[in-house]
Structure 1
Amino acid sequence: MGVFGANGEKGHPPVKPLRTARRLPAALVALGLAVTLGLSACSSDPAPAPDSGTQAPAGGSGAAAEALSAKLTTQPAAGAKDVAPGDPVGVKVADGTLQTITLTNPDGKAVAGELAADKHSWSATEPLGFGKSYTWSGTATGADGKPVQLSGQFTTATAKRQVSGSLNVGDNQTYGIAMPIALTFSGKVADKVAAEKALTVQTNPKTEGSWAWLPDVDGHSVAHWRPKEYYQPGTKVVVTAKIYGVKIGDGVYGKQDVSASFTIGRSQIVKGDTRTHRMQVIRDGQQIADYPVSYGLDSDPGRVTHSGTHVVMTKYPTYSMSNPRYGYTDVNVPWAVRISNNGEFIHGLAASVWAQGKKNISHGCLNLSPARAKEYYDSVLMGDPVEITGSSQQLSAKDGDYSDWTYSWSDWTKLSALSA
């Protein structure tokens, strides 16, 4: 309560004595005191009406609200069943602080967790198992200084089937500026929204990009991530698929998390024109080579080199090529760089040197002399773009795994499960 003056009003100075002493009747003194107290009460602010969580303070506006007891919330809630092991697990407290929190597995072992610095929340830091019962215990102290006990149990789901994922990129590797990230699942993903929410790509410098779900391959769901434009050279990339325990279908869950950290190397772009029979290599904005080439025979749809943005997928010092339709098998070529899954390579071929720079006679590949092919081969990074123009057919999504750049950015983003 506040300190009251001699006249009974809060904060007023004592009443000065009258200069002329005159004894008043007792009844009048009592009446004056009543009036004074009545005026004091009218001048105070009215006490607020109590709500569901706050009690009105005692003693008028200057009094502190009554302290509240701690209110605990768990995720999952006590009694929950069929909880996905990949769901967030934690405790939060309102009107208090957490003191001790323990989540125990069926073997009596505590699940690893972390208490927030402000002691208002606790989060599990290790994954839960499938088909297990977990028990909460612990204590929180409310604003009223009183302890509140935590208790309860929940049960995780039993998986009918688990699906794993594999990435096409690896730790500490360096890739070209057009490199797509491909995550291939070991089975079909029915709930692509849930799966995509578990996928993240972090870039430095920040790079705009999007996931897209491409057509299944032999019953395996496939998600790709590509930037809107080519990466800046030197970009650091971390991709994480936290799919363990994520429900991605009826009784189907992610099997394990996968991640990779890699770097984008220098910028190198091949620009080729089937009409000029040449290809230029542009590195960091400067042309470093201009090679005579023999492209695919444009008059034959089965042999034409497709126009469009290809991506270097892999390379081989020697590669055996076969195409029974055109009468050749096991033809070994040197310094082969694969640029699509439809049979297109950049490779050396001594037998076509006479046509290189003059005529297109290949079966879809870009033929160079063996020496020039070796020079290009040595400069290549997986993920380098190869931009071809001038032919009668366009590269499309059906032409292979790295067809990401055949989509416009608008069409690409529509393939995200989160685009709706």
Structure 2
Amino acid sequence: MRSLRTARRLPAALVALGLAAALGLGACSGDPAPTPTSQPPAGGSGSAAEALPAKLTTQPAAGAHDVAPGDPVKVTVADGQLESVTLTNSEGKQVAGQLAADKRSWATTEVLGYGKSYTWAGTATGADGKPVQLSGQFTTVSPKRQVSGSLNVGDDKTYGIAMPIALTFSSKVTDKAAAEKALSVETTPKTEGSWAWLSDTQVHWRPKEYYQPGTKVTVTAKIYGVKIGDGVYGKQDVSASFTIGRSQIVKGDTRTHRMQVIRDGQQIADYPVSYGLDSDPGRVTHSGTHVVMEKYPTYSMSNPRYGYTDVNVPWAVRISNNGEFIHGLQASVWAQGKQNVSHGCLNLSPARAKEYYDGVLTGDPVEITGSTQQLSPRDGDYSDWTYSWDDWTKLSALSA
């Protein structure tokens, strides 16, 4: 009882002192209390240690030799922004280029030349606010040989629904994969297709199925500056934009001696025909999907093996490179629709041949059935449709 009464009589000052001590012990963590700091400025790194100098990277690197002009040429910066960039050739001409909107990269917008020296210059500002100079040189390759390419299609032309695109090189391509990577085909509507190497100098592109009528097609071969062999480089880019016309398919059967013309799904003609003589492998008309290659108002035909030279025929439409045409021939009208007596061509009367000739487009398919011989890749430049799709895609240099 006595001790309790004593506690109640403790002075208020002592109680306050004890409470303060207890609070002090409860707040202690062994570390001093944090000191408030100011926020880093907007866009800053947060501390002086993180304010890094600009780091410049050039492609190609300074000191590089034998650079392919088709390779990317650019400057990038880390921890900073580009202020100015110039690339100057040995004649003192500046190469055109474009600075990115974020000022972190610059790239050329024109191609470089072969066998030239180029010098970088410019500045960048780092996150630390200090300028860094851009410098360095590189040289481009002097090719042993330059190879050109030519297309079988032209700008603003209209072709049939089976039209293959053919790119022919002026000499042998040994790095087909590098060359094919430089090729592109854009179609509207989108059309599945593939490149296929049919020889060391020729690569074709065809759709998986016939084009839809009205398809817009642009083919681009950006081969300039591309290494396509040992010391061999592309000479110039080539391109073409064209349109696919209406759908027209010829369907012919050597056994019935007739051919039908199907336009946009409707039959518009059914002609009596004399095909090649089936009993002679040298004269038979081949079965398979042919493609119209070209046409002539008159054409001179010769085949010394069968005893004729310079025989002029009217309204000749070439459908393969093995001598097969659709053309007029008055001399075989008696056999047309009844017998196959030609030397491989589809003979029509001159009037019917003219009617067909007037409506045909390069690239129209001609599907022949019923003969003893099959069209094959050996039969010419437009034999693309003799391949199955699986076999076709295997001819790409980029196939898996």
Asked if these proteins are the same fold (TM beyond 0.5), I'd say yes
- What are the within-5 Å matches in structure 2 for residues 68-79 of structure 1? 68-79=52-63
- The aligned counterpart of 2:336 is 356
- What are the within-5 Å matches in structure 2 for residues 72-151 of structure 1? 72-151=56-135
- The aligned counterpart of 1:418 is 398
Q: 1:268 aligns with which of 248, 261, 269?
A: 248
Q: 2:31 aligns with which of 18, 31, 38?
A: 38
Q: Secondary structure at the match of 1:253?
A: strand
CA distance in 1, matches of 2:333, 2:104: 73
- Unaligned 5+ residue runs, structure 1? 1-19, 45-55, 59-63
Shift of 1:327: 0.5
- The aligned counterpart of 1:291 is 271
Deviations 1:225-272 (A, max 9, x none): 001111111111110111111111111111011000100000000000
- What are the within-5 Å matches in structure 2 for residues 228-247 of structure 1? 228-247=208-227
CA distance in 2, matches of 1:177, 1:40: 81
Shift of 1:21: 6.7
Q: Which runs of 4+ in 1 moved over 6 A?
A: 20-23, 31-34
Q: 2:196 aligns with which of 200, 209, 212?
A: 212
- The aligned counterpart of 2:291 is 311
Is residue 177 of structure 2 the alignment partner of residue 197 of structure 1? no
CA distance in 2, matches of 1:68, 1:119: 17
TM-score norm. by structure 1 comes to 0.86
Shift of 1:134: 0.5
Q: Secondary structure at the match of 1:325?
A: helix
Shift of 1:37: 7.2
Q: Secondary structure at the match of 2:167?
A: strand
- The aligned counterpart of 1:168 is 152
Deviations 1:106-148 (A, max 9, x none): 0111101111222222111111111111011111222333222
Q: Which amino acid aligns with 1:317?
A: P
Deviations 1:48-77 (A, max 9, x none): xxxxxxxx966xxxxx98233222211111
Shift of 1:40: 4.1
CA distance in 1, matches of 2:250, 2:311: 25
Identity of matched residues, %: 83
CA distance in 1, matches of 2:53, 2:284: 77
Decide whether aligned partners of structure 1 residues 363 and 97 sit closer, same or farther in structure 2, where only a CA change above 3 A counts: same
Shift of 1:35: 2.8
Q: Secondary structure at the match of 2:199?
A: strand
- The aligned counterpart of 1:392 is 372
Q: Which amino acid aligns with 1:324?
A: P
- Unaligned 5+ residue runs, structure 2? 1-11, 37-44
CA distance in 2, matches of 1:37, 1:245: 69
- Structure 1, 94-103 or 289-298: larger mean CA deviation: 94-103
Q: Which amino acid aligns with 1:38?
A: D
- Structure 1, 95-104 or 161-170: larger mean CA deviation: 95-104
Shift of 1:92: 1.4
Q: Which amino acid aligns with 1:90?
A: K
CA distance in 2, matches of 1:260, 1:65: 55
CA distance in 2, matches of 1:86, 1:109: 19
CA distance in 1, matches of 2:186, 2:53: 41
CA distance in 2, matches of 1:310, 1:125: 43
- The aligned counterpart of 2:204 is 224
Deviations 1:142-200 (A, max 9, x none): 23332221111111111111010000000000000000000000001111111111111
CA distance in 2, matches of 1:57, 1:255: 52
CA distance in 2, matches of 1:209, 1:94: 41
TM-score norm. by structure 2 comes to 0.90
CA distance in 1, matches of 2:319, 2:78: 58
